[in-house]
Structure 1
Amino acid sequence: MAPAEIAALLTVPLETVYAWRKERTGPPGFRIGKHLRYDPGAVRDWITTLTETALAAA
C-alpha cells in the first residue's frame, strides 16, 4: 500500500502517516527504490493492535 492509501483508509492527513513513520508509531513500512510502501497484512495487524489496546483501556 502507498502512504496515500493508508491516509485514505484511516481518513487522516497524509502528513500524519509520514509522522507515524518518523516517530516509529505507525505500521512498518519499507522502500522499493524511492517509493515507500506498506504490507497490507502488516497494516491490518497494526490496526487490530490499536483496536485491542483501546478496548482493553476502556
Structure 2
Amino acid sequence: MGLVVIFALVTILGIFGFIRSLKEKNLLGAFFAFGTFAVFGWFAVMTIIHHGFPTTH
C-alpha cells in the first residue's frame, strides 16, 4: 500500500510541475513533468489494479 501512495504523490507533483512549466513556457520542464506524470501514474494505476486497494495479504 505504501508503494501506491508514493506513486500517487509523485503523480500529483508531476501534474503540478507540468502545469507550472507550461505557464512559464518551459517546454523541456513540461516534457519531463509529463513523462513523470505518465510513468508514475501508470505504475500507480496498475499497482492498484494488480494488488487491489487496500492490499490483501
Name the TM-score class by shorter chain: 0.3 to 0.5
The structure that is strand-richer by fraction is: 1
More helix by share: 2
Q: TM-score scaled to structure 2, two decimals?
A: 0.40
Which structure's CA Rg is the greater one?
2
Relative contact order, higher structure (CA 8 A, sep 6+): 2
